[in-house]
Amino acid sequence: MRTYVYDFSEGDRTQKDLLGGKGANLAEMTRLGLPVPPGFTITTEACREYLATGSEPATLAGEVNEALARLEAVAGRSIGEAEDPLLVSVRSGAKFSMPGMMDTVLNVGLNDQSVMGLAAVSTNPRFAWDSYRRLIQMFGKTVMDVDGDLFSDALDEAVEAAGVSGDVELDETSLCELVERFKRIVVEESGDEFPQDPRRQIEMTVRAVFSSWNTERATLYRRRERISDDLGTAVNVCTMVFGNLGGTSGSGVCFTRDPATGTPGAYGDYLSNAQGEDVVAGIRNTLSLDEFRQLDSDSYDELLSNMDLLESHYRDLCDIEFTVERGKLWMLQTRVGKRTASAAFRIAVQLVDEGVITIDEALGRVDGAQLAQLMFPQFDLHTPRTTYTHGMAASPGAAVGRVVFDSATAVQWAERGDKVVLLRKETNPDDLGGMVASEGILTSRGGKTSHAAVVARGLGKTCVCGAAEMHVDAEGRSATANGVTIHEGDVLSINGSTGEVYTGELPVVSSPVFCYLEEGLEVALAHADADDDIETRELILAVDRVLARADEARRLGVRANADKAPDAERARALGAEGVGLCRTEHMFLGDRRVLVERVILANEPHEREEALKDLLPLQRSDFIDLLSEMDGLPCTIRLLDPPLHEFLPDHADLRVRVAVAEATGETDHEAEKLLAAVERLHEANPMLGLRGVRLGLVVPGLFSLQVRAIAEACAQRIQAGGDAQAEIMVPLVGSVVELQLIRDEAEVLIAEIAADTGVPLEIPIGTMIELPRAALTAGRIAETADFFSFGTNDLTQTTWGFSRDDVEAAFFNDYLEKGIFDVSPFETIDVDGVGELVRMASKRGRETHPGLHLGVCGEHGGDPESIHFFDEVGLDYVSCSPFRVPIARLEAGRSSILNR
């Protein structure tokens, strides 16, 4: 028979699939002998059955009762006992950390009778009534679906009526009255009384935690973090320990290193006379751990010892929640902590230097998305600026946007194209949508472990928390700090690395990491030293070491998509090992467009030949410049591949010209001639029309011109002492005959130019695989091709039957919400469909042509997850935009290490 309930003493950290991350880590801390309050975990299997059927497993209630009996025996107290009640917390705990996304209820078991017993046994009536009002508030919002603002507003009114500065100063009488008001709110809003039966409270709370797996905020978080919807959450029922028992009690959250910067040392927040939810919620500004040491040095010393043990045991930064109850330290949770991108690189290398992990493990602990964050621009702090306020640097970066005061407005404004900054007193889980939509988050309350800080770091969003001098009037849509009032729509600039907030838009400059990647280690370190910035220096050195190891470890080559010489120059500086895609149609934009138009619309051979003659020197010059920048490295040049309409005059403009001429009694012969030609060549679906290899076969001389320009450019570079390594790529091939026809013509031209110049020319000729038919017939195409390059953008369009320009705006959001996609197939390779075609074509191509070189040049070439797939399939290289080259290098190295 399946077991659905496990005591904390029965599991360990390897059982996250079953016990969830929180339950597995509580079991691990119990196994290590740390002071963990007794409790038990209800498994993810129970949650999945509940979500699938709408009811708990038949045996669950009995197992929970047995576990509660064991808990009562250990505690020497009983659930619901009037004189000395046993109280529990009920917390969610999924396999993967989802901070603040699901539900927790504390003080479960209190009712109108047991609150009296708790007051007596604690000798602190105020504490008992405070605990009871917290239970009703959390239970009402979480379990009975009462608007949480109603409780918050009632609490604020009670504070104001009592003439005190905060809820911690409310006396017993005020709290008793507040409990009664909270109970009335529950009845008025839900139609039901707050349940007085403690076991009924537990039963309802467990169901609510199960259900919280499918809340909008949890679903949105999973979608963003690519967490499966099928996992479900475990539920942890833990004996309550109280941080709100007076001055010798409190709660805190700490990290074994700074999660924002990676600086070694204990970092965290502590609130005296508070429960843990107060710390995370950010409703009061916290104390630092140094200030906690001054309050309770014994508990502080024990906490630091436990932190050292946990970091040593987990071999990583640990995030820890703890409570002190009348001088006794209790460990409530640990997990490997979320961190910013800069902290991830610094901590990984620190642990290598400390002998805790290997450099290969360090490579596995950072990723391309984090490197991309480090490449983003930062504020130019050398320009004049006006400081608005200052808070805690909770998540680094530079964010500029128009201020909004609620999540819904953030989403609405972002959807219309505005960059926004979400400004709140504090955030809560319901703000996730607005946080995702915002450039940055600014709060007046909370610290580095508040909801805003933790979620922002996970999302890679800039965040400043705890700007205490800022008064936020959410209802009035304004905020005031240092005598300056800003209103909704005003622009702020937020520096998440320093905690500074500036009025207006501050200019940005390249990041130190991007400077290192583009200009080299020596230049980047010189800039850091000039600013006396030790943290930046350490970050640059960490990125350099990890990236160097990635380059050593990777099998997969990394090239760049570069259409012009400046693109190639930047790509090479960023570590590209050649050009994987030069889109020659981009060379004909602007003034040159008319030359291609003349070639396509020519009625007579001599007209076409004259246009081609004018194009030849321009193309040759382009290729010489490109090959010069990539001297000694392969340069794959794709022959012309635009949809035909891109090089034709606009149909509507021509019709207007003809109509205007007719209306004035004149005749515009040129417009009429062009209109007739455009209408003759008009296509209903240009993306599947006369383009690519078809254009080269139908328009005489067009591809020959490009082949000649490439061959002549190679010959000139070689004569000048260069090492030109051009490759010719034929686009949109669906039949081997198409490729063979182009190849035959190209080989004759290349041989002719080699003979004329006296320069031996070996120019490989290959094709893009971007049509399903090409993938299916890859074995035959490989007989004629020297290489394949997978054009995964078009391959995705033609496999799915999507027109990318139309479908992404039309219905992709619906597909994501309905779970048809986990992520857009244009962002990450569709492994089961498009990926299977890539796998098949690679296999069939190499069966025919064992030395066939394979690459990919679609946008997927720079996507971290897709890179791992391409490495596993056995491609030789990926090609991506220059900016993504360092990301591809890192991920290719990670793939080699992780997939050994």
Catalytic residues: 451, 857
* Nearest-angstrom CA–CA distance, 873 and 364: 20
Distances in whole angstroms, Cα of residue 116 to Cα of each of 84, 132, 158, 244: 9, 10, 22, 17
Q: Cα 735–740–746 angle (5° rounding)?
A: 135
Residue 227 identity (one-letter amino acid): I
User: Which 8-state DSSP code applies to residue 15?
Assistant: G
* Nearest-angstrom CA–CA distance, 858 and 871: 15
Q: Which two tokens stand for residue 110?
A: 């209190």
Query: In the sheet that 471-473 helps form, which strands lie side by side, from edge to edge?
Result: 471-473, 478-481, 484-487
Q: Which two tokens stand for residue 852?
A: 């066939």
* Nearest-angstrom CA–CA distance, 36 and 46: 24
Within 630-668, where are the H helices? 651-663
| 431 touches 422 (CB < 8 A) | yes
Q: What H or E segment, with its residue span, contains residue 589?
A: none
560 phi/psi in degrees, rounded to 5: -125, 150
Q: What H or E segment, with its residue span, contains residue 390?
A: strand 387-390
* Nearest-angstrom CA–CA distance, 717 and 725: 10
Distances in whole angstroms, Cα of residue 258 to Cα of each of 6, 8, 276, 304, 395: 33, 29, 20, 14, 11
676 phi/psi in degrees, rounded to 5: -65, -40
Within 758-833, where are the H helices? 772-776, 778-781, 792-800, 804-810, 812-817
Give which of 203, 235, 239, 322 is closest to 73, Cα–Cα.
239
Helices 885-898, 534-553: inter-axial angle, 10-degree rounding? 60
Residue 478 in 3-state DSSP?
strand
Environment class of 639 (CB within 10 Å of its CB; exposed 0-12, middle 13-18, buried 19+): buried
Environment class of 594 (CB within 10 Å of its CB; exposed 0-12, middle 13-18, buried 19+): middle
Give which of 208, 129, 141 is closest to 167, Cα–Cα.
129
Q: What H or E segment, with its residue span, contains residue 852?
A: none
- Total number of residues shown for the chain: 900
Please name the residues in contact with 290: beta carbons below 8 A apart, sequence gap of 6 or more: none
